[in-house]
Structure 1
């Protein structure tokens, strides 16, 4: 018998096609300053192993160093990576990450029990697990069956020159500077990173991927 944990309501989704960058920092109404607020999604070929793909999500953006010390993942929130490998904009596979007692649990990739806004975790699905890395510590990575997972606070990897962007919109500038000024410098996020073999996500030349945060029902 399949055992399942049910989660309800997608709070925010960011869609992309490999290679990607998308950003939204602490702007989702109703979930600002919570572990449900998605900052970024990154998906790319592993620089260490060209046979692997890396999926990375960041939540709870704009954390100051002092706030980062005590920042924690919400144990009632699941971060779900959705993978569409046949181009129909419906998830064929999911990687579902939950947090409990200082650990991250990454189930998948596997065919979801349900698609859309509501999700359930099949707790018999493939699982990789790791301790959540404390702030300022070296990364703790857990691996199982070729899948690796990391979770913990990290410096925000997204670079954006907000001041110059405003100048361009206002008509006082026509392009970005090189180098620009990173508006997110000095702020942190809570990051979840999962690396999987390409063979686990399909046989085509490309995939579509997006993330959702879902709260336990």
Structure 2
């Protein structure tokens, strides 16, 4: 695959250890409603505890009708960044890029360059591809080299009472109800999921991880 220069289009979501959740729904004006808009980033230990699961969700607030036609943007690269030496610079990346109904993955591997610009590391020995699951279809999961991969629409798992939150900010409410109203109930996201053995990203040591979406320029 030809190497392609990619420039960053959205802000970094989060830095986390092995268990973390970060969310960025409907509050990034530069990409709001766009195909590069990251809604959530999740990082946690897998059911197989020697593995780490990384999930990036994009294109939030999709209604069922919108989900049926939603697609990953072929001009947007999703890049999972992994810092193994606590200097807040990525030492490894796992890149995901869609093409013709499939999601191609490269990594974990050392990035061609760090920072805001990226090049798809198509020369990585760790490479995989999975068919993108269609809306309403059974999940397609592929396994390559001990890693597992998925890409496709999923129900938005993020629970947040946005209306009460705005009332609290405005000084009209003092706290949330229990359990409150889920603003995102009934909406979907496009998910990219990678499960990777910890041994491939630094073993049992603490890492930092974050995700970026980057648009081809």
TM-score, normalised relative to structure 1:
0.93
- Using the alignment, how far apart are the partners of 1:169 and 1:11 within structure 2? 25
Give SS of 2:123's match. Answer: coil
Give SS of 2:12's match. Answer: strand
| Aligned-pair CA distance for 1:165 | 2.0
Aligned to 1:166: 166
| Aligned-pair CA distance for 1:93 | 0.5
| Aligned-pair CA distance for 1:141 | 0.8
1:37 aligns with 2:37: yes
| Aligned-pair CA distance for 1:94 | 0.4
| Aligned-pair CA distance for 1:3 | 5.7
**Deviations 1:135-157 (Å, cap 9, x if unpaired)?**
01111011100111101011101
Task: Answer whether contact 1:85 1:204 (CA < 8 A) is retained.
Answer: no
Task: Answer whether contact 2:198 2:204 (CA < 8 A) is retained.
Answer: no
1:54 aligns with 2:44: no
**Deviations 1:134-188 (Å, cap 9, x if unpaired)?**
0011110111001111010111011101133233334444332222211100111
- Using the alignment, how far apart are the partners of 1:3 and 1:103 within structure 2? 16
Aligned to 2:5: 6
Aligned to 1:82: 81
Give matches, 1:36-185, under 5 Å. 36-46=36-46, 48-125=47-124, 126-185=126-185
Structure 2 unmatched ranges of 5 or more: none
- Using the alignment, how far apart are the partners of 2:96 and 2:213 within structure 1? 10
| Aligned-pair CA distance for 1:4 | 2.5
Task: Answer whether contact 1:10 1:118 (CA < 8 A) is retained.
Answer: no
| Aligned-pair CA distance for 1:5 | 2.4
Task: Answer whether contact 1:12 1:212 (CA < 8 A) is retained.
Answer: yes
| Aligned-pair CA distance for 1:204 | 5.1
Aligned residues: 215
Task: Answer whether contact 2:31 2:37 (CA < 8 A) is retained.
Answer: yes
Structure 1 unmatched ranges of 5 or more: none
Deviates more, 1:155-164 or 1:28-37: 28-37
Task: Answer whether contact 1:15 1:211 (CA < 8 A) is retained.
Answer: yes
- Runs of 4+ aligned residues of structure 1 deviating over 6 Å after TM superposition are none
Task: Answer whether contact 1:3 1:124 (CA < 8 A) is retained.
Answer: no
Task: Answer whether contact 2:88 2:208 (CA < 8 A) is retained.
Answer: yes
Aligned to 2:21: 21
